[in-house]
Amino acid sequence: MFTRAKDLWASLVFVGILLFSAHMAGAQSVEKKEQSLYDRLGGLAPISVVVDDFIDAMVPDPFLNQNPAIDEARKRVPAPYLKYQVTALVCQVTGGPCQYNGRNMKESHAHLNITEQEWDRMVVIFKEVLAKHQVPGPEQQGLLEIFDSTKADIVTAGASK
């Protein structure tokens, strides 16, 4: 009887190990399926590189700087500060650990009188930077959806205030 109890105990332990292993494998596959956009983008380092390039492309853009309010803001707000704020914002809204503490989009862009055409130019620049860094399609789409969600607060020229 002792041998039979021992065999039963060994079988239970073996089944327990199998069930635990199956559970862990399932949990890992669920975790991979439910990764945040932040994680799928690779975290803070790649996000900061893309933001850095986006700001570097946008700040000197002649079309955008035809708007006197944008041109003045570019001269007044240092690019490194803008990069820091935008990186923190992107990190936060994609599910990362950062905390954006800047002004909301409406407040920070209201005085710039951004037009629909200027918005479109910013989108083109953003897409070019994403392509340059070979950001995969689903992640590009996620970022563009977030970007697009800010449009009503940023494009104010011609809109009722």
Which tens digit of pLDDT belongs to each residue from 34-93? Answer: 899 999 999 999 999 999 999 999 999 999 999 999 999 999 999 999 999 999 999 999
**The model's pTM:** 0.76
Whether pLDDT at 161 is above 60: no
Supply the pLDDT for residue 160: 44
In this structure, of 26-40, 43-57, 119-133, the range with the lowest mean pLDDT score is 26-40
The CATH number of the structural domain formed by 36-154 is: 1.10.490.10
Supply the pLDDT for residue 5: 47
Please give the single-letter amino acid code of residue 95: G
Alpha-carbon span 143 to 58, nearest angstrom: 17
Q: What percent of the chain has pLDDT over 90?
A: 75
Residue 84 host element (H or E): helix 79-93
Q: Which residues pair with 155 in a beta bridge?
A: 114
- Count of beta carbons in the 10 Å neighbourhood of residue 82: 18
Alpha-carbon span 125 to 58, nearest angstrom: 7
